[in-house]
């Protein structure tokens, strides 16, 4: 694998970060993961907007502008000869003496990694996955703003460990007020009384880009959508459940704790609408040229 690190693309064994990097020492940094379909990074502008929002909420100045980041992303894809890929862009505070003060670090560390996109087993989409409601609560939104997509993942990892223990794929965390929030790396949706329900941003979640697309598609499909506060009993009483994120897209859920759900019509409809959205986005970006993507740059 070829990795972008601070302006250079090098083989992965040479892509090393200092032990004094504050990303390593304190989890002080931010990231985005994106999916590449047929050479086009899906919703790139939205991901970069969220990256700059995370940077601004943490007082981190990214030394590259949007166009330079786009070029770095596409150069990394080219260096790896990848057209269908998973890309992770990480920006840490950089290296500096030990201490929390961000001013100790003069230059952020920027890393881009790209690998072939994960092939989830088709049975995941056909039969659905098992998830749990974790005992681990979501960090208070008043303590760490969930709009910051940060390198601090211990809260999510503790919930993920609970899922792994019972062989479940994902863990949904409740917030401190006993309301559903989000998964360790995903947002949650469920169908109740024919209304598509999902925790609102006020519940302390990351406003997932896939979540936003799923809501728009549901509205376009004339479904009632409710962003609000829900309990785990609401999800147990649901008729369909699915989770969303950049790489899972719309993933059906067949079991939450011990409640079983079919892979229902609405989930299937939204998954195929999502695929269509990806297809038309890729076609639009390709038609727009000249662009930053692929060999044609
Ligand atoms: N995670 N909530 C959390 C806590 C997340 O980490 C993510 C994404 C999401 C969904 O966001 P989006 O639809 O924009 O991918 C919600 C990515 C996939 C990750 O950690 O790699």
Atom of ligand 1 nearest to the CA of 212: 13
DSSP state, residue 202? G
Residue whose CA is closest, atom 3 of ligand 1?
185
- For residues 188-206, average pLDDT: 97
Cα 83 from Cα 70, distance rounded (Å)? 15
Closest CA to 5 of 65, 106, 75, 101: 75
Q: Which atom of ligand 1 is nearest to the CA of 210?
A: 13
**Residue 288 confidence (pLDDT):** 86
Residue 291, pLDDT > 60, answer: no
192 pLDDT higher than 80: yes
Q: Which of 43, 70, 118, 149 is catalytic?
A: 149
pLDDT digits (tens, 9 = 90+) for 151-178: 999 999 999 999 999 999 999 999 999 9
Q: 135 near 171, Cβ under 8 Å?
A: no
Residue 256 Cα to ligand 1 middle (Å) = 19
Average model confidence (pLDDT) for the chain?
A: 96
CA of 185 to the centre of ligand 1 (A): 4
Question: What atom in ligand 1 is closest to the CA of residue 184?
Answer: 4
Q: E strands, 211-271, where? A: 224-228, 240-245, 249-256, 259-260
- Helices vs strands, H then E, count in the chain: 8, 15
pLDDT of residue 118: 87
Smallest CA separation from ligand 1 atom 20, residue: 185
Q: Residue range 205-233: average pLDDT?
A: 98
Say whether pLDDT at 121 is over 80: yes
Q: What's the pLDDT score for residue 297? A: 46
CA–CA separation, 52 vs 58, rounded Å? 10
Indicate whether 113 pLDDT > 50.
yes
> Which residues have CB under 8 Å from 39's CB, separation 6+?
77, 83, 293, 294
Instruction: Provide the pLDDT for residue 245.
Output: 98
- 269 has pLDDT over 90: yes
Question: Which residues' Cβ are closer than 6 Å to ligand 1?
Answer: 33, 156, 182, 185-187, 206, 208-211, 244-247
pLDDT band at 293 (very low <50, low <70, confident <90, very high): low
Residue nearest to atom 8 of ligand 1 (CA): 185
Picking from 33-47, 57-71, 185-199, 277-291, which range would have the lowest pLDDT averaged per residue?
277-291
**149 in catalytic set:** yes
pLDDT, position 193: 95
Mean pLDDT on 68-77:
96
What global pTM score does this model have?
0.96
Q: Which residue has the higher pLDDT, 288 or 199?
A: 199
Mutate which of 42, 146, 180, 208 to test ligand 1's pocket (most atoms within 8 Å of Cβ)?
Answer: 208
Nearest CA to ligand 1 atom 21: 33
**pLDDT class for 191, splitting at 50, 70, 90?**
very high
What is the reported pLDDT for 122? 92
Measured over the CA atoms of residue 240, residue 257, residue 121 and residue 119, the dihedral's sign is positive
The average pLDDT across 110-122 equals 95
The region of weakest confidence among 89-98, 176-185, 285-294 is: 285-294
Is the pLDDT confidence value at 2 over 90?
yes
Share of the chain above pLDDT 70, in %: 97
């Amino acid at each position: 694998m070829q990795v972008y690190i601070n302006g250079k693309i090098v083989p992965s064994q040479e892509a090393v970060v200092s032990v004094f990097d504050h990303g390593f020492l304190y989890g002080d940094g931010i990231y985005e993961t994106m999916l590449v379909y047929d050479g086009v990074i899906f919703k790139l502008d939205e991901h970069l907007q969220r990256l700059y929002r995370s940077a601004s909420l943490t007082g981190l100045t990214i030394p590259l502008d949007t166009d330079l980041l786009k070029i770095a992303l596409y150069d990394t894809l080219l260096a790896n000869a990848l057209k269908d890929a998973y890309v992770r862009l990480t920006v840490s505070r950089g290296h500096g003496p030990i201490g929390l003060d961000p001013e100790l670090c003069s230059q952020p560390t920027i890393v881009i990694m790209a690998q072939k996109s994960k092939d989830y087993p088709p049975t995941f989409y056909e039969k659905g996955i098992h998830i749990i409601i974790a005992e681990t609560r979501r960090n208070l939104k008043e303590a760490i703003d969930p709009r910051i997509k940060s390198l601090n993942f211990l809260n999510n990892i503790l919930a993920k460990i609970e899922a792994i223990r019972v062989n479940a794929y994902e863990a949904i965390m409740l917030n401190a007020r006993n309301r559903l929030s989000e998964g360790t790396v995903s947002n949650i949706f469920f169908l109740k009384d024919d209304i598509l329900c999902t925790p609102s941003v006020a519940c302390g979640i990351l406003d997932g880009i896939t979540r936003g697309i799923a809501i728009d598609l549901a509205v376009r499909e004339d479904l009632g959508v409710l962003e609000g506060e829900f309990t785990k009993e609401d999800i147990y009483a649901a008729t369909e459940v699915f989770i969303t994120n950049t790489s899972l897209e719309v993933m059906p859920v067949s079991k939450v704790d011990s409640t079983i759900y079919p892979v229902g019509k609405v989930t299937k409809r939204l998954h195929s609408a999502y695929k269509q959205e990806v297809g038309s986005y890729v076609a639009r970006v390709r038609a727009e040229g000249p662009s930053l993507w692929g060999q044609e740059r």
